[in-house]
């Protein structure tokens, strides 16, 4: 079933839409959530929250953007889950390491007032990623978009963890400089 068909079902409040989303995206969204929250139970809970929010906000999804909407929603709900746990004095997830590394470079917000700024920032980051070699871009995306561990990222690129860490550090410095030249305050 296509994303546009699923969105149509969601807008018509057809429960088959949730079944279709589970069939098409569940394992993908689970991987993203698990990388952030760090355990099966919390990832499952996040996915239930994602499906509920998807059901409640279906009219705000544009045609052709279901995948992007679900990924963004998964990240937001999973990160909020970890933040909530940290407030309750639980141990932080290993999945937060990439966020801690990159938050020195890029700050984001989830309020309506910052949506335009976030869109402009997304566009600038995408332009920056276009300037990187395929290997560096893959390394950056795997680490900061898919939340893969440093070891997995290094293995994927066929380099040592130390080299991957060093490359990512240099990319973050270049990204910071690029964003400052684009007019973003870092």
Please write the tens of the pLDDT for every residue from 145-170.
777 888 888 888 889 999 999 999 99
% of the chain at pLDDT higher than 90:
20
Structure tokens at 134: 């395929």
For the structural domain made of 96-181, what CATH number should be given?
1.10.10.10
Q: Could you tell me if 43 and 34 are in contact, meaning their C-beta atoms sit under 8 angstroms apart?
A: yes
Instruction: Give tens-digit pLDDT for 33-82.
Output: 888 888 899 999 999 999 998 888 766 676 667 888 888 889 889 888 88
Interior/surface letters 159-179, b for 16+ CB within 10 angstroms, e for the rest: beeeebbebbeebbeebbebb
Q: CB-side exposure of 108: number of CA atoms within 13 Å?
A: 16
Alpha-carbon distance of 98 to 100, in angstroms, equals 5
In this chain, the answer to whether the domains covering 3-92 and 96-181 adopt an identical fold is no
Architecture of domain 3-92: Orthogonal Bundle (1.10)
């Amino acid at each position: 079933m296509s994303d546009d068909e699923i969105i149509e079902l969601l807008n018509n409040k057809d429960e088959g839409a949730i079944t279709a989303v589970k069939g098409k995206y569940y394992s993908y969204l689970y991987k993203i959530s698990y990388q952030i929250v760090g355990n099966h139970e919390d990832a499952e809970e996040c996915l239930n929250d994602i499906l509920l929010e998807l059901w409640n906000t279906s009219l705000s999804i544009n045609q052709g953007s279901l995948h992007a909407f679900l990924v963004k929603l998964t990240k937001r709900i999973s990160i909020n889950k970890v933040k909530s746990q940290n407030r309750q004095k639980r141990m932080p997830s290993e999945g937060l390491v990439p966020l801690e590394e990159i938050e020195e470079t890029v700050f984001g917000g989830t309020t309506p007032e910052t949506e335009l700024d976030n869109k402009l920032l997304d566009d600038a980051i995408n332009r920056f990623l276009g300037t990187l070699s395929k290997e560096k871009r893959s390394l950056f995306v795997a680490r900061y978009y898919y939340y893969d561990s440093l070891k997995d990222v290094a293995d994927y690129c066929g380099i040592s963890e130390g080299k991957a860490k060093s490359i990512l550090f240099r990319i973050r410095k270049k990204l910071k400089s690029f964003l400052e030249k684009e007019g973003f305050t870092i």
